[in-house]
Amino acid sequence: MSEHTLDTEALLRESYKYGTSFFSPISQKDTRTLKTYLLGSPLRNSLAPLLHNTLFSLAGAACTYEAIETDNSEKLLELLAKPDSLGTAVTMPLKVRSMDLVDAVTDEARSIGAINTVFIRRGDNGRSRLIGTNTDCIGVKESFLQNVDAKDLAFGSSQPGLIIGGGGACRSAVYALHFFLGVKTIYLVNRLKEEIDDIIESFRRVPDFKAKLQFVDTVESAAELSRPYLVVGTVPDREPVTEAEVLAKRIVDTLMGCDAGGMQKSQGVVLEMCYHPRVQTSFYQFAERNGWRVISGTEAMIWQGVAQHILWTEKGYTMIYNSQYYTQWIFKAK
Protein backbone atom coordinates (compact mmCIF):
# COMPACT_ATOMS: atom_id res chain seq x y z
CA MET A 1 0.00 0.00 0.00
CA SER A 2 1.23 3.50 -0.83
CA GLU A 3 2.31 5.87 1.94
CA HIS A 4 1.41 8.94 -0.15
CA THR A 5 -0.66 11.74 1.37
CA LEU A 6 -2.39 14.58 -0.45
CA ASP A 7 -0.23 17.72 -0.27
CA THR A 8 -2.58 20.25 1.32
CA GLU A 9 0.01 23.03 1.46
CA ALA A 10 0.82 22.78 -2.24
CA LEU A 11 -2.87 22.83 -3.19
CA LEU A 12 -3.51 25.94 -1.10
CA ARG A 13 -0.29 27.64 -2.20
CA GLU A 14 -1.40 27.26 -5.82
CA SER A 15 -4.84 28.66 -4.98
CA TYR A 16 -3.34 31.81 -3.44
CA LYS A 17 -1.90 32.75 -6.82
CA TYR A 18 -5.44 33.92 -7.58
CA GLY A 19 -5.89 36.03 -4.44
CA THR A 20 -5.46 36.10 -0.70
CA SER A 21 -7.37 33.98 1.79
CA PHE A 22 -11.14 34.18 1.73
CA PHE A 23 -11.01 34.49 5.52
CA SER A 24 -8.66 37.49 5.54
CA PRO A 25 -9.53 40.12 6.48
CA ILE A 26 -11.79 38.58 9.12
CA SER A 27 -15.38 39.17 8.13
CA GLN A 28 -18.83 38.45 9.45
CA LYS A 29 -18.77 35.27 7.39
CA ASP A 30 -16.49 33.68 10.00
CA THR A 31 -19.12 33.83 12.74
CA ARG A 32 -21.88 31.94 10.95
CA THR A 33 -22.46 28.60 9.32
CA LEU A 34 -20.98 28.76 5.83
CA LYS A 35 -22.68 27.10 2.91
CA THR A 36 -21.40 25.17 -0.08
CA TYR A 37 -23.47 23.80 -2.92
CA LEU A 38 -23.61 21.33 -5.76
CA LEU A 39 -25.25 22.64 -8.93
CA GLY A 40 -26.30 20.54 -11.91
CA SER A 41 -28.90 18.11 -13.15
CA PRO A 42 -29.78 15.34 -12.50
CA LEU A 43 -28.45 15.01 -8.94
CA ARG A 44 -30.66 12.30 -7.43
CA ASN A 45 -27.83 9.73 -7.32
CA SER A 46 -25.09 12.08 -6.13
CA LEU A 47 -23.05 10.93 -3.13
CA ALA A 48 -21.43 14.37 -2.81
CA PRO A 49 -23.71 15.76 -0.05
CA LEU A 50 -23.03 12.75 2.15
CA LEU A 51 -19.28 12.94 1.48
CA HIS A 52 -18.89 16.67 2.08
CA ASN A 53 -21.10 16.89 5.14
CA THR A 54 -19.10 13.99 6.59
CA LEU A 55 -15.81 15.79 5.87
CA PHE A 56 -17.14 19.01 7.43
CA SER A 57 -18.27 17.07 10.51
CA LEU A 58 -14.91 15.32 10.90
CA ALA A 59 -13.11 18.66 10.59
CA GLY A 60 -15.40 20.37 13.09
CA ALA A 61 -16.17 22.98 10.44
CA ALA A 62 -19.36 25.03 10.67
CA CYS A 63 -20.22 24.36 7.04
CA THR A 64 -22.98 22.65 5.10
CA TYR A 65 -23.24 21.22 1.59
CA GLU A 66 -26.51 21.21 -0.33
CA ALA A 67 -27.41 19.81 -3.75
CA ILE A 68 -29.50 22.16 -5.87
CA GLU A 69 -30.83 20.70 -9.09
CA THR A 70 -30.61 23.27 -11.88
CA ASP A 71 -29.41 23.68 -15.44
CA ASN A 72 -29.16 27.46 -15.04
CA SER A 73 -25.53 28.52 -14.68
CA GLU A 74 -26.58 31.96 -13.41
CA LYS A 75 -27.65 30.23 -10.19
CA LEU A 76 -23.96 29.99 -9.35
CA LEU A 77 -23.57 33.77 -9.24
CA GLU A 78 -26.77 34.14 -7.26
CA LEU A 79 -25.62 31.73 -4.55
CA LEU A 80 -22.03 32.96 -4.33
CA ALA A 81 -23.20 36.56 -3.90
CA LYS A 82 -24.68 35.60 -0.53
CA PRO A 83 -22.58 36.52 2.53
CA ASP A 84 -22.62 32.97 3.92
CA SER A 85 -21.46 31.24 0.71
CA LEU A 86 -18.07 29.54 0.72
CA GLY A 87 -18.04 27.93 -2.75
CA THR A 88 -19.78 25.57 -5.11
CA ALA A 89 -19.28 22.33 -6.95
CA VAL A 90 -20.71 22.10 -10.45
CA THR A 91 -21.53 19.08 -12.52
CA MET A 92 -23.23 18.45 -15.84
CA PRO A 93 -24.54 20.36 -17.71
CA LEU A 94 -22.80 23.35 -16.10
CA LYS A 95 -19.13 22.36 -16.16
CA VAL A 96 -18.31 24.18 -19.40
CA ARG A 97 -20.73 27.09 -19.42
CA SER A 98 -19.82 28.14 -15.84
CA MET A 99 -16.26 28.88 -16.98
CA ASP A 100 -17.44 32.18 -18.45
CA LEU A 101 -18.97 33.30 -15.14
CA VAL A 102 -15.94 33.13 -12.85
CA ASP A 103 -13.20 35.73 -12.46
CA ALA A 104 -10.34 33.32 -13.18
CA VAL A 105 -9.80 29.73 -14.27
CA THR A 106 -6.89 27.57 -13.11
CA ASP A 107 -4.46 26.00 -15.54
CA GLU A 108 -5.92 22.53 -14.91
CA ALA A 109 -9.45 23.65 -15.68
CA ARG A 110 -8.40 25.56 -18.79
CA SER A 111 -6.48 22.56 -20.10
CA ILE A 112 -9.33 20.15 -19.41
CA GLY A 113 -11.93 22.57 -20.73
CA ALA A 114 -14.31 22.42 -17.78
CA ILE A 115 -14.63 23.31 -14.11
CA ASN A 116 -16.19 21.28 -11.32
CA THR A 117 -15.34 23.61 -8.43
CA VAL A 118 -15.58 27.30 -7.62
CA PHE A 119 -13.69 28.63 -4.60
CA ILE A 120 -13.31 32.21 -3.39
CA ARG A 121 -10.18 34.28 -2.90
CA ARG A 122 -9.81 38.01 -2.29
CA GLY A 123 -8.40 40.50 -4.77
CA ASP A 124 -6.17 43.48 -3.97
CA ASN A 125 -9.27 45.54 -3.23
CA GLY A 126 -10.55 42.98 -0.73
CA ARG A 127 -13.42 41.94 -2.94
CA SER A 128 -14.28 38.33 -3.54
CA ARG A 129 -12.91 36.67 -6.67
CA LEU A 130 -14.57 33.52 -7.97
CA ILE A 131 -11.97 30.97 -9.09
CA GLY A 132 -12.96 28.01 -11.23
CA THR A 133 -10.89 24.85 -11.07
CA ASN A 134 -11.13 21.15 -11.85
CA THR A 135 -10.47 18.69 -9.04
CA ASP A 136 -11.55 15.67 -11.09
CA CYS A 137 -7.96 15.35 -12.30
CA ILE A 138 -6.82 15.36 -8.67
CA GLY A 139 -9.30 12.55 -8.02
CA VAL A 140 -7.66 10.48 -10.77
CA LYS A 141 -4.15 11.33 -9.57
CA GLU A 142 -4.84 10.53 -5.92
CA SER A 143 -6.64 7.28 -6.77
CA PHE A 144 -3.38 5.97 -8.18
CA LEU A 145 -1.00 7.64 -5.72
CA GLN A 146 -2.94 6.51 -2.66
CA ASN A 147 -3.25 2.89 -3.80
CA VAL A 148 -0.19 2.04 -5.88
CA ASP A 149 3.41 1.79 -4.68
CA ALA A 150 5.85 4.40 -5.98
CA LYS A 151 7.96 1.82 -7.81
CA ASP A 152 4.92 0.55 -9.71
CA LEU A 153 3.89 4.09 -10.60
CA ALA A 154 7.41 4.80 -11.81
CA PHE A 155 7.16 1.76 -14.05
CA GLY A 156 3.71 2.88 -15.21
CA SER A 157 5.07 6.26 -16.23
CA SER A 158 7.42 4.51 -18.65
CA GLN A 159 4.63 2.48 -20.23
CA PRO A 160 1.66 3.48 -22.38
CA GLY A 161 -1.55 4.40 -20.61
CA LEU A 162 -5.10 3.68 -21.75
CA ILE A 163 -8.27 5.73 -21.32
CA ILE A 164 -11.66 4.38 -22.35
CA GLY A 165 -14.29 6.97 -23.26
CA GLY A 166 -14.40 10.42 -24.80
CA GLY A 167 -16.17 12.76 -22.39
CA GLY A 168 -15.13 15.13 -19.63
CA ALA A 169 -13.81 12.37 -17.38
CA CYS A 170 -11.53 11.27 -20.22
CA ARG A 171 -10.07 14.78 -20.44
CA SER A 172 -9.42 14.84 -16.69
CA ALA A 173 -7.74 11.44 -16.95
CA VAL A 174 -5.53 12.60 -19.84
CA TYR A 175 -4.38 15.57 -17.78
CA ALA A 176 -3.72 13.45 -14.68
CA LEU A 177 -1.89 10.63 -16.46
CA HIS A 178 0.48 13.01 -18.22
CA PHE A 179 1.03 15.97 -15.91
CA PHE A 180 0.77 14.17 -12.55
CA LEU A 181 1.86 10.61 -13.32
CA GLY A 182 4.30 11.21 -16.17
CA VAL A 183 2.74 8.94 -18.81
CA LYS A 184 4.08 9.90 -22.23
CA THR A 185 1.90 7.79 -24.54
CA ILE A 186 -1.83 7.46 -23.97
CA TYR A 187 -4.11 5.20 -25.99
CA LEU A 188 -7.69 6.45 -26.39
CA VAL A 189 -10.55 4.09 -27.18
CA ASN A 190 -14.06 5.39 -27.79
CA ARG A 191 -17.09 4.60 -29.89
CA LEU A 192 -17.07 8.07 -31.49
CA LYS A 193 -13.94 9.17 -33.34
CA GLU A 194 -15.01 12.81 -33.45
CA GLU A 195 -14.96 13.05 -29.64
CA ILE A 196 -11.38 11.81 -29.57
CA ASP A 197 -10.42 14.17 -32.40
CA ASP A 198 -11.70 17.07 -30.28
CA ILE A 199 -9.72 15.89 -27.24
CA ILE A 200 -6.50 15.49 -29.22
CA GLU A 201 -6.89 18.91 -30.82
CA SER A 202 -7.72 20.50 -27.47
CA PHE A 203 -4.62 19.12 -25.73
CA ARG A 204 -2.48 20.05 -28.70
CA ARG A 205 -3.08 23.66 -27.67
CA VAL A 206 -2.17 23.08 -24.00
CA PRO A 207 1.25 24.57 -23.09
CA ASP A 208 3.85 21.98 -22.06
CA PHE A 209 1.64 19.03 -22.96
CA LYS A 210 4.08 16.55 -24.51
CA ALA A 211 2.18 13.25 -24.38
CA LYS A 212 1.34 11.33 -27.52
CA LEU A 213 -2.43 10.78 -27.70
CA GLN A 214 -3.23 7.84 -29.96
CA PHE A 215 -6.75 6.91 -31.02
CA VAL A 216 -6.92 3.13 -31.40
CA ASP A 217 -9.75 2.27 -33.77
CA THR A 218 -9.16 -1.31 -34.94
CA VAL A 219 -8.49 -4.64 -33.26
CA GLU A 220 -5.61 -5.21 -35.67
CA SER A 221 -3.79 -2.02 -34.67
CA ALA A 222 -4.46 -2.75 -30.99
CA ALA A 223 -2.79 -6.16 -31.33
CA GLU A 224 0.42 -4.51 -32.54
CA LEU A 225 0.71 -2.04 -29.66
CA SER A 226 2.58 -2.40 -26.38
CA ARG A 227 0.48 -3.30 -23.35
CA PRO A 228 -0.71 -0.31 -21.28
CA TYR A 229 -0.05 -0.29 -17.54
CA LEU A 230 -2.24 2.48 -16.10
CA VAL A 231 -5.82 2.26 -17.38
CA VAL A 232 -8.79 4.54 -16.71
CA GLY A 233 -12.35 3.56 -17.61
CA THR A 234 -14.74 6.51 -17.98
CA VAL A 235 -17.84 5.00 -19.59
CA PRO A 236 -21.21 4.03 -18.04
CA ASP A 237 -21.79 0.51 -16.76
CA ARG A 238 -23.78 -1.05 -19.55
CA GLU A 239 -23.25 -3.82 -22.05
CA PRO A 240 -22.19 -2.72 -25.56
CA VAL A 241 -25.09 -2.70 -28.00
CA THR A 242 -24.18 -0.77 -31.13
CA GLU A 243 -21.57 -1.91 -33.61
CA ALA A 244 -19.26 0.91 -32.51
CA GLU A 245 -19.62 -0.04 -28.83
CA VAL A 246 -18.92 -3.71 -29.53
CA LEU A 247 -15.83 -2.78 -31.55
CA ALA A 248 -14.56 -0.50 -28.78
CA LYS A 249 -14.88 -3.34 -26.27
CA ARG A 250 -12.97 -5.73 -28.53
CA ILE A 251 -10.21 -3.15 -28.90
CA VAL A 252 -10.00 -2.73 -25.12
CA ASP A 253 -9.91 -6.52 -24.67
CA THR A 254 -7.02 -6.72 -27.10
CA LEU A 255 -5.04 -3.83 -25.63
CA MET A 256 -5.40 -5.26 -22.13
CA GLY A 257 -4.33 -8.72 -23.26
CA CYS A 258 -7.64 -10.27 -22.33
CA ASP A 259 -8.82 -11.40 -25.75
CA ALA A 260 -7.50 -14.94 -25.36
CA GLY A 261 -9.91 -15.68 -22.54
CA GLY A 262 -7.40 -16.75 -19.89
CA MET A 263 -5.84 -14.85 -16.99
CA GLN A 264 -2.73 -12.95 -17.97
CA LYS A 265 0.25 -12.35 -15.67
CA SER A 266 1.92 -9.09 -14.70
CA GLN A 267 -0.99 -6.84 -15.59
CA GLY A 268 -1.23 -3.20 -14.57
CA VAL A 269 -3.69 -1.07 -12.63
CA VAL A 270 -7.22 -0.06 -13.65
CA LEU A 271 -9.15 2.89 -12.25
CA GLU A 272 -12.83 2.27 -13.02
CA MET A 273 -14.39 5.72 -12.71
CA CYS A 274 -17.96 4.46 -12.92
CA TYR A 275 -19.44 3.37 -9.58
CA HIS A 276 -23.20 3.73 -10.16
CA PRO A 277 -25.43 1.80 -9.82
CA ARG A 278 -22.80 -0.66 -8.52
CA VAL A 279 -19.17 -0.28 -7.52
CA GLN A 280 -18.07 -3.53 -9.14
CA THR A 281 -19.15 -2.70 -12.67
CA SER A 282 -18.92 -5.09 -15.60
CA PHE A 283 -15.58 -3.55 -16.58
CA TYR A 284 -14.35 -3.75 -12.97
CA GLN A 285 -15.15 -7.47 -12.84
CA PHE A 286 -13.72 -8.07 -16.32
CA ALA A 287 -10.39 -6.43 -15.43
CA GLU A 288 -10.11 -8.16 -12.07
CA ARG A 289 -10.95 -11.53 -13.61
CA ASN A 290 -8.11 -11.07 -16.08
CA GLY A 291 -5.43 -10.29 -13.53
CA TRP A 292 -5.57 -6.50 -13.33
CA ARG A 293 -5.56 -4.64 -10.05
CA VAL A 294 -8.71 -2.50 -9.92
CA ILE A 295 -9.33 0.75 -8.05
CA SER A 296 -12.96 1.74 -7.57
CA GLY A 297 -14.27 5.03 -8.93
CA THR A 298 -15.42 5.93 -5.42
CA GLU A 299 -11.75 6.62 -4.72
CA ALA A 300 -11.69 9.33 -7.38
CA MET A 301 -14.99 10.70 -6.08
CA ILE A 302 -13.65 10.90 -2.53
CA TRP A 303 -10.31 12.50 -3.42
CA GLN A 304 -11.71 15.12 -5.79
CA GLY A 305 -14.10 15.99 -2.94
CA VAL A 306 -11.26 16.19 -0.42
CA ALA A 307 -9.50 18.65 -2.75
CA GLN A 308 -12.67 20.75 -2.91
CA HIS A 309 -12.91 20.64 0.88
CA ILE A 310 -9.35 21.96 1.22
CA LEU A 311 -9.90 24.78 -1.29
CA TRP A 312 -13.10 25.90 0.45
CA THR A 313 -12.06 25.66 4.10
CA GLU A 314 -8.37 26.47 3.48
CA LYS A 315 -7.48 23.77 5.99
CA GLY A 316 -6.21 20.23 5.86
CA TYR A 317 -8.60 17.31 5.64
CA THR A 318 -9.51 14.90 8.42
CA MET A 319 -9.95 11.25 7.52
CA ILE A 320 -9.91 9.02 10.59
CA TYR A 321 -9.92 5.95 8.40
CA ASN A 322 -8.68 5.27 4.88
CA SER A 323 -10.68 5.98 1.74
CA GLN A 324 -11.75 2.34 1.38
CA TYR A 325 -13.51 2.63 4.75
CA TYR A 326 -15.38 5.73 3.60
CA THR A 327 -16.37 4.02 0.38
CA GLN A 328 -18.01 1.23 2.36
CA TRP A 329 -19.55 3.63 4.87
CA ILE A 330 -20.99 5.98 2.26
CA PHE A 331 -22.63 3.17 0.33
CA LYS A 332 -24.12 1.68 3.49
CA ALA A 333 -25.51 5.06 4.49
CA LYS A 334 -26.84 5.85 1.02
| Residue 89 structural domain | 8-134+304-333
84 and 158 fall within a common domain: no
Average pLDDT, the chain: 91
Residues 255 and 155 placed together within one structural domain of the fold: yes
Does residue 182 lie within any of the structural domains? yes
Kindly report, residue by residue over 264-315, the tens digit of the pLDDT: 556 899 999 998 888 899 999 999 999 999 999 999 999 999 999 999 999 9
pLDDT of residue 323: 59
Statement: residue 29 has pLDDT above 90: no
The residue-averaged pLDDT of 8-34 equals: 83
Question: Looking at this protein, which amino acid is placed at residue 71?
Answer: D
Q: Which CATH number do you get for residue 284?
A: 3.40.50.720
Residue 240 lies in a domain: yes
Band the pLDDT of 258: cuts 50, 70, 90: confident
Query: Can you give the CATH number for the domain in which 61 is found?
Result: 3.40.50.10860
Q: Closest by alpha carbon to 117, among 128, 102, 68, 126?
A: 102
Weakest-pLDDT range from 39-53, 111-125, 127-141, 258-272? 258-272
* Least confident window among 87-91, 132-136, 326-330: 326-330
- Residues 112, 242: one domain? no
| pTM metric for this prediction | 0.92
CA–CA distance, 294 with 297 (Å, rounded to integer): 9
Say if 2 falls within a structural domain. Answer: no
* pLDDT (average), residues 219-244: 96
Least confident of 77-86, 227-236, 254-263, 319-328: 319-328
Tally the domains of the chain: 2
Same domain flag for 158 and 69 = no
Average pLDDT over residues 144-167: 97
Residue 253 binned pLDDT confidence (cut-offs 50, 70, 90): very high
**pLDDT computed for residue 316 by the predictor:** 82
Within a domain: 90: yes
Nearest 5°: phi and psi at 106? -70, 165
Strands 269-272 and 293-296: parallel
Give, for 7, the enclosing helix (H) or strand (E).
none
155 and 234 inside one domain: yes
**282 located within any domain:** yes
The mean pLDDT value for 325-333 works out to: 58
Q: What is the pLDDT of residue 125?
A: 87
Domain annotation covers residue 65: yes
Do 313 and 292 sit in the same domain of this protein? no
| 51 and 176 both lie in a single domain | no
Residue 261 reports pLDDT greater than 80? no
H-only helix segments in the chain? 8-15, 48-59, 74-80, 107-112, 136-147, 150-157, 168-175, 193-204, 219-223, 243-255, 282-289, 297-313, 323-333
Return the percentage of the chain with pLDDT > 70, whole number: 90
Q: Kindly state whether residues 144 and 284 are assigned to the same domain.
A: yes
C-alpha pair distances (Å), 298 with each of 73, 120, 140, 327: 26, 26, 10, 6
Burial of 158 (0-12, 13-18, 19+ CB in 10 A): exposed
Provide the pLDDT for residue 267: 87
Residues 127, 107, single domain; the answer is yes
211 and 268: one domain? Answer: yes
Highest mean pLDDT among 18-32, 49-63, 112-126: 112-126
Q: Tens digits of per-residue pLDDT, 77-126?
A: 999 999 999 999 999 999 999 999 999 999 999 999 999 999 999 998 88
Confidence check: pLDDT of 25 > 90: no
In a domain, 3, yes or no: no
Which pLDDT does position 28 carry in this prediction?
46
Residues 283 and 317 reside in one and the same domain = no
Same domain (yes/no): 177, 91: no
